[in-house]
Structure 1
Amino acid sequence: MGGPRGSVLLQGLCVLLILLEAGSQKTSGCARWCPPKSTCVNATTCRCSPGFISLSREIFSSPLESCDDINECGPPPLVSCGRLADCQNTEGSYHCICSPGYALASGATTFMNESENTCRDVDECQLKPRVCKSRGICTNTQGSYTCKCLPGFELNLGDLNLCTDVNECTSGQNPCHNSTHCLNNIGGYECRCRPGWKPVPGSPNGPKSTVCEDVDECSSGKHTCHYSTVCVNTVGSYKCRCRRGWKPKPRFQDKQLNTTCEVPAEMSFPAWTPPPGIKSQKLSHFFERVQELRRDFKPALPQETIQKVIESMDEMLKASGDLEAMDPSERHHMATHFLLGLETVLRTLAKAMPRASFTYRSPLDTELSLMIQEHGDGNVTMGQTHAQMLLNWAVATEPSNSGPTVMGILSIRNMQNLLSNASLELEPEKKEQLKKIHQSPVRGAQLQLLSAVNVVFLSNTNTEKLDSPVTFAFSHLENPQPKKLGTRQELICAFWKGDKNNGHWATMGCQTLGTRNNSTTCQCNHLSSFAILMAHYDIEDQKLSLITKVGLVLSLFCLLLCILTFLLVRPIQGSRTTVHLHLCICLFVGSTIFLVGIENEGDQVGLRCRLVAGLLHYFFLGAFCWMSLEGLELYFLVVRVFRGQGLSKWQLCLIGYGVPLVIVAISAAVKSKGYGYILYCWLNREDGFLWSFLGPVIFIVLCNAVVFVTTVWKLTQKFSEINPDMKKLKKARVLTITAVAQLFVLGSTWVFGLFLFDPESWVLSYTFCILNSLQGLFLFLLHCLLNKKVREEYRRWAGRITGNKYSEFATATSSTSHHQTQAHRPSESGM
């Protein structure tokens, strides 16, 4: 293979080998497993084409992965097409198209970027002029269109682009006046007059505005009826009928063209004069106003007169003024006269009312409801906001059955002042029932008016005993406590019963059926002025009364002995004795007044009862002030024994008598009538007046309680310091005696007295009476019999009286021995 030819062949072979080797290296450097939609990166990795992605994102190295299409339209969207456009995904890419009803301004169908968005509304009505079928009007809307039908046509439910005729006459919404006939035609209708009728003046026959009528002489004013009659139109003519309750004049007939009527005497404004001897200016002004209304009364306008009567009554009752200053019996007699006169006036004026019903509610919530009917049968129901009534028609009708029948309810909210302090007359059966329940007789009741006073009246004036009962439902304030059988308070239906010289509440002939949602149902066999009352019965407890009287007599005797002792025994004179003395004086005077004057005599609160209540207020407050000074002296004695002296005598008297005087003076100036009420000569509970006593008492008792705890604590320390070896039992006995004694001295037991006049507190009432009626006895035992100096003085007095000189010598010797012993032995009295 030598020579030039062989050399060329060898070089060619070498080039071929080099090319084969390069090709082999190139093929082995790219991965052969790359999936579709990808390209080879090197021998181990592949890259997804644009618009595709694998699980390992753009570049991946696993033969198991594939390249999936990227949804640029989301969610979440990766691109934004702008408003009024939608994104549509394609394989490896996407494009934007306008929303239905919109198109690009350029006319193209797709775009790629938001900056290319020129979508705008397409007017389908111009593109498709016949989209809405016959009798339809196309209306372009944003992105769509609607078809509206011409008047008289409606869209077909099967084809919303098709309008069909509407039969207005049979559609259930007849557009024609009820005096015409409706005739349907294509796309419309006609309103034509009925036979015998004619269009009203100016109204053509046929259009939907046509109104047909008979010639109405009454409404047109072309009639000639007298003012005393009412024009009644008839077909082709009219009649003149007398007003309700009026009657034709002589030689005239009713329901004629020339009928003339007159008011019967019983339908004119009745005479309503005040009772003789009236002392209230407000009542006088009211009756003067009534006389003016009577003079100016127009029979044709009774409802205006009724409203003015109610407004005048509200003006009188709005601010009671001098009504409260009237004597209770005179005021209650005035209330009886007022309610009866008001009932008569309203019944009479109601008969002249032209309407079948009438309701009026004044600005002060006085409400009148009237029902006037010519004929009726069966049960009748009428009502208003404050009351409802169910009765038989025969009960309401007058026995003569002449004229219209009237039923009325007048509810008055402002009668409390006129009827305050009124008594309650209980049925004998009710008294026996209460006596059986409480084992004691009933003395009376305190009343709280919860509802409006409802004046009920009918055409029938003979209502003292009805043939069938009347049922009422009265709305009222929320009752303070629910009704419980056997308790001393009860929610009752009562009526106002008047006599010649007075008036009071009563329950005879009425029964309470039940109470629910601040409404009480009652049933009565007579009519009057009704109200819902909360009755707090005063049950006389004979045992409690006996305990109180016996305890007070014994306490008064012991208080008198205490007063004499504190005045005459000189060895015990001091600031503490001064406090003891004046405490006993206040309790003695207060207990004496309580024993002889606490019960009110009669049904009125007179000057004597108010004076007794004021004195009790003063002396009992004085007693508590001296009890507070007892606590103050005890504080100086035990706690501050080495830190100065207590108050001087004039300071003690200034506090003990001055503070209660200021409280009583302010209370009397603010509300003098708060002293005394129907049952007892004590502070009235209304308007919180009782707190003029309870407030200072609670404050003093709380302060003394602090002193009591401090005293017992200090005494415990002193006993331990004086004699640490004192037996625990003996120390406990001394502390117990000291604590019990201080309870009575500091007035802690008077806490039970807060419930003395609460009829529900049986246990507390007995506890108070037993403990505090004997307070004088406890003070005598504590300050006199348990005081050694006082006992020695008693022995000395007894020796002088009996002439036993040995007794005096023994007493002196005993006293000397005692003082010597006390020098070596600590005190065990605890006082």
Structure 2
Amino acid sequence: MGVGNKELLILGLLCMLEKCFPECSNGYETKQGKCVDLNECEDWQNKCGNHTSCHNTIGSFYCQCLKGFKNSLGKVNFTGGELTSGQCLDMNECMNNDEICGRAGNCSNLIGSYKCTCESGYTSGNNGTEVCRDINECQKAEINGEDICGERGLCKNEEGSYWCKCQKGYTNYGNKRTPCSELNCDGFRADSGPTPLLGGLANILSLMRNSCLALSNRSAASEEMGDGDALLAKLFTATNAVLSPGRQDRGEDVSVLLSTVDNSIMFIGPQLKKNHTKINTTETDAEIAVQRGNTRPNGLIHLTNENATLYTDWETASGTGTYPGFALAALLSYKNLHNSVNRSFEELKGQEKDGMDPSFQIFSRVVSVVVSNPSTQNLSRSVNITLRHLENTEESPEVRFICAYWNEREAWSTDGCYQQHSNATHTVCTCEHLSSFAVLMALYPIEETFGLLLVNKIMLIISIVCLLLAILTFMFCRSIQGTRTTIHLHLCICLFLADLIFLAGISRTETVGGCRFVAAMLHYFFLGVFTWMLLEGVQLYRMVVLVFNTTIRPLYLLVAGYGTPLVIVIISAIIRPKGYGTDKFCWLSLEDGLIWSFVGPVCFIIGTNVFFFIITVWKLANKFNSLNPDVSQLNKIKAFTVTAIAQMCILGLMWVFGTLLFQDGTMHFKRVAAYIFIILNSVQGALVFILHCLLSKQVRDEYAHFLSCICKPQKKRYSDFSSTNPSSTQSQGSKSGQHTSESQI
């Protein structure tokens, strides 16, 4: 009984354990003695694979591919692994649906997704996974408080874009998304200037005004753009007519021309079809760059032509004010305008060096820089302009290069422009404002040393003394009297007075009237020297060609020798009275062409004498080869010819170097020419005395006779008192008669 009960008790306990811990099927787990659902998705990645989502069910689960992926076996729900149920692969939405982004979008496939890239004027929501739809720019600008069409423009939305309708008098130059800008057509009025304009310049203003009015009167800012290329060609054709030789010589017209062309470029630039335009004519060379868009452009600007180069950036060109939807930068080079503005240097102050004021001249082409920035006088950043020199010249103590601009007062100024670097061919200028620019060459007077000045004065004094001796010789030496001696006498008188005035008054510039008188006297007497030299050539020609009656009456010689230069000086003084005397020397001015009243006659005389001398030498050669030549007479003419040619070479060579001082050339060349001119001018009197007096045997004999009379006066007087021999007296009388006879011969 005890054993039986014990067994029954164990059996009862086993039955109770089976009820508390029941055996659960798949998909369930035992919790608190009960079978409950097992969540298989807690370890879903091992069960479903990559790019899947797990969904738990009662007693089970199933897997699905994520959005953008599809099962490789085409199943939607699956529970097995990749081997039995397939794997989730990326689905190319762009290939499956052509309209997924709309007609204004481009679809780009991503891993498990895609992205729509919309065209300008469209947008796609939900991070680029929706169809591209139109943006209402007008509404957006109104919400954001933006004025995308300007004060006088009305915004009109259209599919994928918008356009600005401009009121009359305003335009966006055919660029429909550009803010409307005011057109100031009155700025192209030909009668708006202070003085009457040249015909060609008035034609430019009329052309631009008509084009401006035509653009201003359009009913709406249509998409059609004006023919800016054709209008630009017409502008430069008209500009060529104004700049043609002989048409442009007034400073005020130059200023109006520069401003008119600049304003015209500003008007035409936005109408050009290309972003870069180059045009080259006989008088101008231009390059224009334009950037369009609703946002300000950035980056560097590099414009160049044969004569200049511009370095700046688009931020400087467009400015910081209201942006009209386009930015412009232009570089214009005028090929011959520097000849018309090679003056007006009064405002160039502070260029003195060592107490010397320089003279100025234009040393590059005139170049204009045009930008759309309305504040060109207050640029945020300086611009660099490289200008090519008219000729290759290095800076030196006598030369300095200056960057200058043409201001509104029709004068050159250096305010805000600085020289950054110069070499023999180019100068780089940095300027804080924009205008028309050029490189000026400041020429400082050649600094003469004290020794050179002293030698010059000493040799001039020697020259004057020699000329005085020559004048006395020609006046009192009876054995050489004749037409040639008369010519030599007055040539020396003119040269003597010219050298005397040159020595005493060439630098006396304190009194304007006195300086002009000195310049006129120098002009007259130096012309007289060459006039008498011409008469000498005429006389030599007559002596060779005419056998008899070769003399010329002295009255005719005086009228021709002194009357001809007098007429030239009187006419020159009447035409250019202010041309006599300069700031530095009492001589003829170089600015108004008066110098040619001296250089012209001198060149004519030298050329004529060369002709006479060639004929003379040819005739002499023929006569020497004849059967019965008069050798003594021919030798005399030969000597006369040689001295005349030598005299012409000396005087002509001196003024050749004097003329070269005022021509273009290097400073070293000009310095050499100046020294040669000073030396020849100083010694010409001595050379004339040597040629016509000391080299003449007749004159030397007269000098010897004169010196013998001076050296023996006491001996003659003593013999007269000590001797009463009549034969002696008779002998002296015969000798005296003999001397008289020789001198007459």
TM-score (norm 2): 0.53
Match of 1:371 in 2: 290
Match of 1:587 in 2: 495
Match of 1:486 in 2: 396
Native 8 Å contact 1:270 1:344 kept in 2 = no
- 1:315-330 map, 5 Å: 315-321=241-247, 323-324=248-249
1:374-400 Cα deviation digits (max 9, x unpaired): 423342223456543221333323232
Aligned residue identity for 1:314: N
Match of 1:271 in 2: 187
Distance 1:363 1:238 in 2: 51
Distance 1:282 1:598 in 2: 45
Aligned residue identity for 1:574: G
Distance 1:770 1:290 in 2: 60
238, 254, 260: which is aligned to 1:335?
254
Residue 746 of structure 1: how far off its partner (Å): 4.9
Match of 1:296 in 2: 213
Any gaps of 5 or more consecutive residues in structure 1? 1-180, 182-191, 199-213, 217-233, 325-330, 715-720, 723-736, 799-804
Distance 2:490 2:368 in 1: 57
Native 8 Å contact 1:514 1:521 kept in 2 = yes
Whether 2:304 is the aligned partner of 1:391: answer: no
Change (3 A) 1:337 1:661: same
Q: CA RMSD in A?
A: 6.6
Match of 2:675 in 1: 766
Distance 2:571 2:491 in 1: 23
Native 8 Å contact 1:372 1:406 kept in 2 = yes
SS for the counterpart of 1:405 is strand
Change (3 A) 1:691 1:367: farther
Distance 1:741 1:808 in 2: 39
Change (3 A) 1:444 1:235: same
Residue 530 of structure 1: how far off its partner (Å): 2.5
Change (3 A) 1:268 1:278: closer
Match of 1:471 in 2: 384
SS for the counterpart of 2:195 is coil
Match of 1:623 in 2: 529
Change (3 A) 1:399 1:622: same
Distance 2:358 2:732 in 1: 61
Residue 644 of structure 1: how far off its partner (Å): 5.5
Residue 343 of structure 1: how far off its partner (Å): 3.0
Query: What is the aligned length?
Result: 540
Native 8 Å contact 2:541 2:612 kept in 1 = no
Aligned residue identity for 1:315: A
Whether 2:441 is the aligned partner of 1:528: answer: no
Match of 1:753 in 2: 655
1:161-204 Cα deviation digits (max 9, x unpaired): xxxxxxxxxxxxxxxxxxxx9xxxxxxxxxx9999669xxxxxx
1:432-490 Cα deviation digits (max 9, x unpaired): 4xx6xxxx9453144455x3x2210223354557554433344676x3xx334537567
Of residues 613-622 and 410-419 in structure 1, the stretch that sits farther from structure 2 once superposed is 613-622
Change (3 A) 1:368 1:652: same
Distance 1:654 1:528 in 2: 58
Native 8 Å contact 1:448 1:535 kept in 2 = no
Native 8 Å contact 1:379 1:390 kept in 2 = yes
Distance 2:519 2:309 in 1: 43
Native 8 Å contact 1:455 1:529 kept in 2 = yes
Distance 1:301 1:597 in 2: 67
Distance 1:562 1:763 in 2: 30
- 1:302-317 map, 5 Å: 303=228, 308-317=234-243
SS for the counterpart of 1:260 is strand
Native 8 Å contact 1:547 1:769 kept in 2 = no
Residue 524 of structure 1: how far off its partner (Å): 1.2
Residue 276 of structure 1: how far off its partner (Å): 6.6
1:235-259 Cα deviation digits (max 9, x unpaired): 88998999x9962547756777685
Match of 2:406 in 1: 497
Change (3 A) 1:284 1:468: closer
Whether 2:588 is the aligned partner of 1:681: answer: yes
Aligned residue identity for 1:396: A
Residue 537 of structure 1: how far off its partner (Å): 5.0
Change (3 A) 1:384 1:794: same
SS for the counterpart of 1:697 is helix
Change (3 A) 1:635 1:475: closer
Change (3 A) 1:370 1:618: farther
Change (3 A) 1:505 1:338: farther
- 1:404-419 map, 5 Å: 404-419=326-341
1:620-670 Cα deviation digits (max 9, x unpaired): 454235335557768999xx89975644236756875799899999999xx
Native 8 Å contact 2:530 2:602 kept in 1 = no
Whether 2:358 is the aligned partner of 1:443: answer: yes
SS for the counterpart of 2:340 is helix
Match of 1:460 in 2: 373
- 1:110-149 map, 5 Å: none
Distance 2:518 2:362 in 1: 23
TM-score (norm 1): 0.48
Of residues 759-768 and 574-583 in structure 1, the stretch that sits farther from structure 2 once superposed is 759-768
Match of 1:578 in 2: 486
SS for the counterpart of 1:376 is coil
515, 539, 558: which is aligned to 2:446?
539
Native 8 Å contact 1:267 1:352 kept in 2 = no
Change (3 A) 1:364 1:499: closer
Change (3 A) 1:501 1:536: closer
